Structure formats: structure tokens, C-alpha cells
Structure 1
Amino acid sequence: MAPSATNGSTAHREDNLSFTSFSQFIDGVAVKTPASRHGINPATKEDLWEVPVSGAEHLDHGVDAARKAFRSWSKTPFEQRKKAVLAYADAVEKYKEEFSTLLTTEQGKPTWQANLEVTAGYDWIRGMAGLTIPEDVVEETETKKTIVRYTPIGVVGAIIPWNFPLLLTTGKIAPALLTGNVIIVKPSPFAPYCALKLVELAQRYFPKGVVGSISGGDDIGPMMTEHPGIDKISFTGSTTTGKLVMRSASKTLKRVVLELGGNDPAIVCPDVDISRVAPMIATYAFLNSGQVCLNLKRIYIHESIYDEFLVAMTEHLKTMAVGNGLDKGIVLGPLQNSMQYDRVKTFFDDIPKEKWKVAVGGGKMENSKGYFLQPTIIDRPADDSRIVVEEPFGPIVPALSWRTEEDVIARANDTRMGLGASVWSKDL
């Protein structure tokens, strides 16, 4: 039995948008499939609503509709496209409460964090709409004028991850449409609901076929990356999958944008205000239970303050309540799905095998129904250990000490992942 979801009263709407039924949209129409599947609430392991399971024929239909829509949308004046995109942002904001509840239900993050994600989603749309498409005159003489113009590419295939399903859907839809492209959104099978509902809402503001969705399992992604009718892939997800996406897309020479994994170091200098910085480090390491590509993944603390800083960090972590994100006062929710839970759990299984010293946490959450693990800090593991080298993407983080800047910079840069990094000091 799927849970009910509120349709709270907000600003005036043309008609109500149901948050208890979910469809995929092709050529402006909700398209059913013979098969269906459902997501799982990661905090309770309860079944959620049914969603379609598509095959190649549905993707072909969606691509044909998108290519047809592209012919007219690509010629629509920029200001007209911008007006439609901004109206869409307003609509997302009107449903902020419903989207926040839905996001927590399917993804697990606390409602206050879901609220921030929804806000960032429509702010992102408006921010994109504030940009212009430049036209550069690179050379002009009496006999020749050379102008660089940026023209629409075609059909964009957007592959959405499960950790920020709403933000990253809006973050792909807005720039695609503003630049005159059309888009087909493939949600994560683990967290399909917000993305499907965003596409459904988009049908009110854009011509049919301009924004479509394709719902299914992991097999749909490779179909999209190989499809000759899709001109560009925008993918956010793991580095391993990103390599497969690039390899697959190369068969049709389609453009690819990849935003992949990170193993972000944080270097903490000896001059910091420990009482102020340690809670911030703990927060940015464990936000969304570690399921953020830009979270702090390796924390390098100067040896002169290491012990005091580690205590302050662990004490703050103990105040970060873990539980069902729909409950009040929760800071950290569950892992989003069983596959990720099982993977992160291997790092916890390594604790006794590798004889890692645990500063706080270290195991499962007792009496929890969902995919919960204790927020854990490992105290000075070896630099070549899995917890340092790999990206757990969960609530377990290594703390390491350093002595010289030359040494810590070399260690921080000793990774094949290059996404983010930070240095914490009073001295800018």
C-alpha cells in the first residue's frame, strides 16, 4: 500500500496536481506501460507508488516526439522561451510543500533539507533564466565579418541520480530549454517520483514533446546513450557509470556532460576557531548522510589541534539526530537504497578487519526499520586504506593528521577524483 501525500493549499492553481499517482509523459500525453514497479521509502522500507517500466519502443516514441518538437522550439525566440521557463519556476515554487514531502519520502533526507533542495531547484531555474546567450564578433573588416553564435543542439537525454533527484532534474531542464533544446528525463529507478512529477508539471508550460520523461530500470540508460536520435547526454552519478556513459555515447559521437564522484579533502589549519569550525566540518561531511558528491570525504587536521578538534567534531556529530526524515528534529536520514546500504556497509565491515580506530559510531542503528548506519569517524587510518582512497558515499569519514603544508597538499591531491576541496584557516 503506497502512502498518502498531502496536497496542501498554496497559491491559486489552474487545477490540482496529484502527488499520489505518477506517469511518464511522451509527446505531452501520459503513457502507460504493461509493466510497472515501485520505489521504497528508505526510512521504513515501505512500498511507494507504482511507476511505469518502459522499453525501447517507448524511448523511440519519446525521441520521435522530441525531435518533432525541437523543430519549432529551437526557432522560438529566446525571450519567449525565458518567459515559459520562469512561469515553470513559479509553478514549482507553488508546490514547494508537496515536493518537499515527496522528496523526503522517496529519498530519505529530512524535510527541512528537502525544503532547501526544492528552493534551490526553482532558484536554479531562475538563475539560468538570468543568463544570456552571447553572440561574439571575433573579426570584422571591410570585406569580412566573423560571428560566433551558439545554436541549439537537439534532443538532450538527462540521466538523474537518486541523491538530489529534484534539484538535478531542474538543473538539467532549465538550461536545455533556455538554449532552445528539448529534453527527455530519465529518473533514477530508486527515486523516480519528483522527476516524474516535475515533467508532468512542465506539460502546462511548454509545447508537447519539449519536456518528456522515460521511466524504467537501469536498462533504459544505455538505450538513451546509444540512441542515434539523442544528441547530448547530461549525466550525474558515479565515476564507474560515467565511464560507461562516455563509452556508449561515443558510438554515435553525441556530446556528453558528466558530473561524477568526488573524494573531497578538507585541510584544517592550526589557527582555526575549533568550537566554530569543527561543527561545520562535521555537518559538511555528513550532510544527506554522506550522499553528496561534494561532501567532505577526507578530513586532514593539523597535528597540534588534532585531538581537540576530533573531540569537538565527534561531540557535534552526536547531536545530529538520525531517523525518519519526516519526523521533527532529524538531521541525518537513511541511506537511500539497499544497494547503496550494502556497499557502504562493507566499509563498516572493514573496521575490525583493518583494525581501524573508531572515534564515534561504528555500526548499524539498533531497532531501525530502514537503511540506517551510525554516523562514523575513523581515527587516523592508513593513507592507502579503502576509507581514504575510495568514496564511500555514506556516513563514514576518515580523520587524518598532518604536520607540513607540503605533505598535506600532496596527500590531499593523491586521488584520481577531482571535484572539490577546501582549506580552513583564519588567514585568507
Structure 2
Amino acid sequence: MDELVSINPATLDEIGRTPVTSLHELDTAVRRANDVFPGWSADRALRQKLLQACADALTLRAADIVPLLVREQGKTAAEAGGEIWISAEHLTHAAEADWPDEEPGPDAAGRTARVQKIPLGAVAAVVPWNFPVFLTVAKIAPALAAGNTVVVKPAESVSLVVDTVVQLLAEILPEGVLQIVHGGPDVGRTLVEHPLIRKVSFTGSTQVGRLIMKQAAESITPVTLELGGNDPAIVLDDADIAYTAQSLARSAFFNAGQMCVAPKRAYVPAGRVDEFCQAFAAHAAALSVGDGLDPATTMGPLHSKAQLEFVHGLLDDAVARGATIVTGGGRGTDLPGYFLEPTLVRDVDDTFDLVALEQFGPVFPVVAYTSLDDVVATVDSQEFGLGASVWGTDEAAATEVAERLAAGSVWVNQHNAVEVELPFGGIKSSGFGREGGIEGIGDYLQTRVLNIKHTS
């Protein structure tokens, strides 16, 4: 039997194996999800009760799940604990959400019309490796609340922890309502193309998102895509540099920078670059790199050898073109895993791949600017549109700049502040559809018009 091997990215030790789901088993799972859909979708009160029970169960099992999440994904124990907490919050939000099942249509003589919101059926949730628990729950919670059944397909490298969470929740739900399949691209493609799958929700790279769109198009299956991001942070002339640098350093290096909505570059007024770099570098240098299970560690490794090599390649290319490393660039530990210190780079511009591409790692470039209008134009001309932030003490002026930016989320004096009550998603090459908030549940509903002609 084929198996997926999970490796600790800090120590390179094998931590477990997961059997690959056969295509026959996958077909059986989807058909089971389709069969139990009518009963599950019929009882909204039961769904709400069981989703809250799922939230409670996940919270109670956090102490068991956190170490596994750290060992399989690489993040720190504190970050893993936060991931479990916000996942439970998503389940509670879905359990408590309220929306009208139907609303009356416009009046007309001789007929009655109702505009109804109904669930879709069996949904596929395809989950990446960077926040495997949170991004699994962020899909299944609204989908289940809306009355759909769900089949989860996690990234191969985080199969153990996602399987643990899905099985925990599946024990609380009716049989077949929540299931999981494991494997590589062939399993993913077969799930997406299955004729009984009524929606696909995917989080991951833009490249894979395009492929999933093509696969889903074969059966005209709707998709929600939360794809790559290359979030800019625009620092204004009047910004509080100490506060801004500290906040951006904390956000940029969270989960070793492996976060789609992390700030991935800063545009700083040319006259304040020295001040910004000095403040930012101090916070970056204070982070302790190591095994996430070590209480002293404040930043773990990158998740894989391929990711480390990609980020290092961008850094090496930038230095070869004249960029200056202000701090970092080394490994920061004697452990054998995929480590790179928090790294700050200056003397770059938008022609550098380190700036123009989504590096998805702990390297943060600073671009000096003299024209704010040029920065806004440059940012909006680029392919991504997931998040962005603007920093300044004049809140009204900063908000005015923020409203000029084309992104799914724009923050003022903060970054990557994702809240379960608010919708989240991207535009342009960062995808479409929303997760979170009542809009996130709406993404798992479809509109039906019931139009009744009166004959007497």
C-alpha cells in the first residue's frame, strides 16, 4: 500500500505515515457524502448544535493536537496553539451564524415568488500545508453550517494532523457528513473532477488554483479560490516608525513568513529607510530560531527543502544584483532542518524577484520611494490582490491611501488581522470567493427561486 511520509522540518525525523486513498475509496467517500446530504441539510438546528460540539471537542483536544502540528508543520507551539484557538472560533461562529433561508420576491398579481438559499451538496475542501488545521476548519465550518457535506483533501506533508482533526470532528457528526482522503495530484484531480462534487474550495498557490479551475470546469463545478499574495506595506511620511517596524516584523515572520496574507515587502519614504531598517532589524534579530517544541523558540523552520531552496534562491539573486542584507541570512541554529534566519534586505526595487514574487519565507525587502502615487500605481499594476496595509499617524490620510488599493483586505496601522466575523479572500490572481463572516457561509449556498402560479 502506498503511504505518505511526514517529516519533522526542524529535525528531519520521520514522524509517521498515512495510507494513500485509492481512487475506488475516494469514489465511495464522495458517494456516501452525496447520499447523506439530504438528511444533513434538512435540520439546521441539529447542525448548529453539532458544530458547537465540534468547537468544544477541538478545544479540549488542543493539548494533544498542538505537538503534532508543530512536529509536522514546523511552527512554534505558541503559533500552533493560536491556530487551534481560531479554528474553534470558526466552528463557534458557524454554529451561531444566522441568515434567512428564504425571502419573498417582488409582488405580482396571480403568483407568489420566494427567493431561497439552499445548500449545494457534497463539497471538496483542498487544504495547503502552512495552516493545515485552520484552513481545514475555515472551509468545513461554513460548508457544514450551510447544510453541505464535505470531503477534505489535505496537502500530503500534513496528512497526520489534518486526519487527526477531521476524524475527531467526524466522530461527533453523522456518518458520512465529514470525510477525508489522502494522496497526491491524482487523488486531488479525481476529487475535483468527480461528478457528484458540487463545489470545490481551495487554498494554495495561484499556479495550482489555475489548474483546479480547469479541472472543475469539466463538470461546471463552482470554486472558491484563496490563492497567493504578495502583500505590500506602505509606510507614509508621518508613520510612527518604532510601532510600524515592530508590528511588521511580528507579522512578516509569523510562521516563518509562510502565510499568504503576511506583509511581504515594505515601501518606505527614502528619507526614513535608515530609521525603519534599524528598528525592524532589532526586532528581527531578537527572534530565536529553532525547534517549535522548544519553549525558547520564537520562529521555526520553513516547511520543506523545496521552500527553503526557493526562498534562498530569491535572496541570493537579490544580493547578486546589489541588495544589502541588513540582518539575517544565516541558519540561526545547528539543527539539521530547513532553517533560515529572519532576514531584512534593502537596496532593492520592484524589478527584483524578491520583491515582485511571493517569497513565502522569512525574508523581508524594503523598497525606498519618493512618490506615493508611483507606489500606489505600482502596487495596483501587479498580479496579486490579497491584502495590503498603510501605516501613518494621520488616520484619515492613511485611510484615504488604503481606499485606493485593489486588494481583498486593506488594513490601516496593522496587517494580517484576519477575524472570523469578517469575510476574507482576494482579487486578481489572488483568487475569488470569501471565507469568514456571513459571506463565507453564503459561498456555500445557491439561490433558487420558487415561483407559484395561483390558479384559483
Q: TM-score, normalised by structure 1?
A: 0.89
Q: Deviations over 1:252-276 (max 9, x none)?
A: 1011000000010001112222222
User: CA shift at 1:301, angstroms?
Assistant: 0.9
Q: How does 1:196-211 map to 2 (within 5 A)?
A: 196-211=163-178
Q: Distance in 2 between matches of 1:384 and 1:244?
A: 27
CA contact (8 A) 2:315 2:354 kept: no
Mapped to 1, the partners of 2:70 and 2:31 lie a distance apart of 34
1:181 to 2:148 alignment: yes
In structure 2, relative to structure 1, the CA distance for the partners of 1:117 and 1:60 (3 Å cut) is same
1:133 to 2:99 alignment: yes
Shift of 1:142: 4.7
Amino acid at match of 2:220: L
**Aligned partner of 1:343 among 310, 315, 340:** 310
Spell out structure 1 runs of 4+ moving beyond 4 A.
none
In the alignment, what sits opposite 2:249?
A: 282
| Structure 2 residue aligned with 1:262 | 229
Give the structure-2-normalised TM-score. Answer: 0.84
Return the offset for 1:366: 5.4
Does the CA contact (< 8 Å) of 2:51 and 2:94 recur in 1? no
> In the alignment, which residue of structure 1 is the partner of 2:89?
123
Distance 1:103 1:128 in 2: 23
Counterpart pick for 1:328 among 295, 317, 323: 295
User: Which stretch has the larger CA shift, 315-324 or 397-406?
Assistant: 397-406
Matches of 2:186 and 2:320 in 1, distance apart? Answer: 36
Match of 1:219 among 181, 186, 193: 186
Secondary structure of the corresponding residue to residue 197 of structure 2: coil
Aligned residue number for residue 47 of structure 1: 14
Structure 1 contact 38–49 (Cα < 8 Å) conserved: yes
Change over 3 Å in CA distance of 1:352–1:117 after alignment to 2: same
- 2:363 maps to 396
Name the CA distance, whole Å, in 1 between partners of 2:170 and 2:81.
Answer: 23
Hey, what's the Cα distance between the residues in 2 that align with 1:154 and 1:405?
48
Q: What is the DSSP-based 3-state SS (H/G/I as helix, E as strand, rest coil) of the residue aligned with 2:367?
A: strand
Equivalent in the alignment of 1:20 = none
8 Å CA contact retained: 1:348, 1:363 = no
C-alpha distance in structure 1 between counterparts of 2:184 and 2:128, whole Å: 13
Secondary structure, in 3 states, of the residue corresponding to 1:191?
helix
CA distance in 2, matches of 1:236, 1:287: 18
Judged with a 3 Å threshold, the aligned counterparts in structure 2 of structure 1 residues 84 and 104 are, in CA distance, closer, same or farther, namely same
Contact 2:48–2:94 at 8 Å: present in 1 too? Answer: no
Find the counterpart in structure 2 of residue 87 from structure 1.
53
Q: Which shifted more, 200-209 or 115-124?
A: 200-209
* Corresponding residue for residue 358 of structure 1: 325
How far the C-alpha of 1:368 sits from its partner, in A, is: 2.8
Give 2:26's aligned residue. Answer: 59
Equivalent-residue separation in structure 1 for 2:105 and 2:257 (angstroms):
46
Match in the other structure for 2:279:
312
Q: Answer whether contact 2:17 2:160 (CA < 8 A) is retained.
A: no
Mapping for residues 225-244 of structure 1, pairs under 5 Å: 225-244=192-211
Q: Which moved more, 1:372-381 or 1:116-125?
A: 372-381
Deviation at 1:103, TM superposition (A): 1.1
- The one-letter code sitting in structure 2 at the alignment partner of 1:133 is W
| Structure 2 match to 1:24 | none
Q: After alignment, is 288-297 or 400-409 more displaced?
A: 400-409
Q: Decide whether the 8 Å contact of 1:100 with 1:115 is kept in 2.
A: yes
Give the number of the structure with larger relative contact order, counting CA–CA contacts within 8 Å between residues 6 or more apart: 2
- 1:125 touches 1:174 (CA, 8 Å); kept in 2? yes
Which residue of structure 2 lines up, in the alignment, with residue 410 of structure 1?
377
403-412 vs 84-93, greater mean Cα deviation = 403-412
1:163 is displaced (CA, Å) by 0.3
| Partners of 2:105 and 2:308 in 1: CA distance | 53
Task: Give the Cα separation in 1 of the matches to 2:165 and 2:308.
Answer: 27
SS at the partner of 1:219? helix
Residues in 2 aligned to 1:349 and 1:272: alpha-carbon distance in whole angstroms: 31
C-alpha distance in 1, partners of 2:355/2:186? 32
1:371 and 1:427 map into 2 onto residues whose CA distance is: 41
Structure 1 residue 217 displacement after superposition: 2.2
Q: Conserved in 2, the CA contact under 8 Å of 1:189 and 1:218?
A: no
**Number of residues paired by the alignment?**
394
Deviations 1:77-127 (A, max 9, x none): 211111111111110011111121111111111101110110000001111
Q: Separation in 2 of the partners of 1:104 and 1:147?
A: 49
Aligned position for 2:351: 384
Matches within 5 A, 1:135-154: 135-154=102-121
Do the aligned residues in 1 keep the contact of 2:11 with 2:337 (CA within 8 Å)? yes
TM-superposed deviation, 1:341 = 1.8
Question: Cα deviations across residues 139-169 of structure 1 (Å, max 9, x unaligned)?
Answer: 1345333221111111111101000000011
Indicate the SS of the match to 1:333. coil
Where does residue 156 of structure 1 map in the other structure? 123
Q: Residue 391 of structure 2 corresponds to which residue in structure 1?
A: 424
CA RMSD of aligned residues (A): 1.4
Q: Describe the shift of the 1:322–1:40 C-alpha distance in structure 2 as closer, same or farther (beyond 3 A).
A: same
Tell me, yes or no, if the aligned pair for 2:166 and 2:179 is still in contact at 8 Å: yes
Q: Give yes or no for contact 1:73–1:210 (8 Å, CA) kept in 2.
A: yes
